[in-house]
Chains A and B, each alone.
Chain A
Amino acid sequence: DQQVKQNSPSLSVQEGRISILNCDYTNSMFDYFLWYKKYPAEGPTFLISISSIKDKNEDGRFTVFLNKSAKHLSLHIVPSQPGDSAVYFCAASPGMGNSKLTFGKGITLSVRP
């Protein structure tokens, strides 16, 4: 049973436009969320995180939004660049401290020049 779901396996956007990557979760105990980015033949790299006490966290072109009532989060990339083309993983954990991360299966983002 997938507790973290990234239902769209792929997304294609035009350079300069907004990319919106969605993630849904089922475990109401999750309260800390992270996004990782992965290029081919490389390991995932941390991108941005958000705690459940916030509904938005911004870092440059990347913003993560959290809707706890809907158990939904999204990653916005504005403006999208060809270098953003990668697989994006959403991950969640039930709190701070040593709680295991549960990852989604990832979304492949392609940014067209």
Chain B
Amino acid sequence: DAGVIQSPRHEVTEMGQEVTLRCKPISGHDYLFWYRQTMMRGLELLIYFNNNVPIDDSGMPEDRFSAKMPNASFSTLKIQPSEPRDSAVYFCASSFWGLNTEAFFGQGTRLTVV
């Protein structure tokens, strides 16, 4: 398996634009997580899915953020409209067992909102 695949690797966008980040989890993993990494707050869990169903989105910072998982092999994280303070590295991760077990992370998407 190629691991968790995220796209794009880098995204630069203007404030107010819509941004969509994509993730393909490892086949067979039932859990998918979206994390955000910033210097100030470190790694934060935004939302996670179990069997394609969103379970906990309490980490999503605002209504501008939304995430979907239409099937077991694809998920998106959308920011609309984007703001400069959304600039961060966004990681997608998947695991077989659950939240507090070993998760496999993608390489991340570095988002810059100017």
Q: Do they bind each other?
A: yes
Binding site for B on A (CB under 8 A): 32, 34, 41-46, 49, 89, 91, 93, 95-101, 103-106
A5 to B106, CA, bound (A): 24
- In the complex, the answer to whether A105 meets B42 with C-beta atoms within 8 Å is yes
A sample of 26 inter-chain contacts (CB < 8 A) reads A32-B100, A34-B102, A41-B107, A41-B108, A43-B105, A45-B104, A45-B105, A49-B102, A89-B43, A96-B100, A97-B98, A97-B99, A97-B100, A98-B98, A99-B100, A100-B59, A100-B100, A101-B45, A101-B99, A101-B100, A103-B42, A103-B44, A104-B42, A105-B41, A106-B42, A106-B43
Residues of the B chain whose Cβ atoms lie less than 8 Å from the Cβ of A49: 102
Query: How many Cβ-Cβ contacts under 8 Å join chain A to chain B?
Result: 59
Residues of the B chain whose Cβ atoms lie less than 8 Å from the Cβ of A32: 100
Q: Is B91's CB within 8 Å of the partner chain A?
A: yes
A98 to B56, CA, bound (A): 10
A interface, by DSSP: helix, strand, loop or mixed?
Answer: loop
- B13 to chain A minimum Cβ distance, whole angstroms, is 20
Q: Which residue of A lies closest to B56 (CB)?
A: A100
Q: Using a CB-CB cutoff of 8 Å, which residues 19-65 of chain B contact chain A? A: 39, 41-45, 48, 50, 55-56, 59
- In the complex, the answer to whether A98 meets B42 with C-beta atoms within 8 Å is no
Cβ-neighbour of A100 out of B4, B39, B45 (below 8 A): B45
Q: Is B93's CB within 8 Å of the partner chain A?
A: yes
Q: Which residue of A lies closest to B100 (CB)?
A: A93
A91 to B37, CA, bound (A): 14
- In the complex, the answer to whether A98 meets B99 with C-beta atoms within 8 Å is yes
With A93-B99, A98-B99 already in contact, the answer to whether A43 and B45 are too (CB < 8 A) is: no
- In the complex, the answer to whether A43 meets B106 with C-beta atoms within 8 Å is yes
- In the complex, the answer to whether B100 meets A43 with C-beta atoms within 8 Å is no
A104 to B106, CA, bound (A): 19
Residues of the B chain whose Cβ atoms lie less than 8 Å from the Cβ of A91: 43
Q: Is B15's CB within 8 Å of the partner chain A?
A: no
Q: Is B77's CB within 8 Å of the partner chain A?
A: no
Q: Is B88's CB within 8 Å of the partner chain A?
A: no
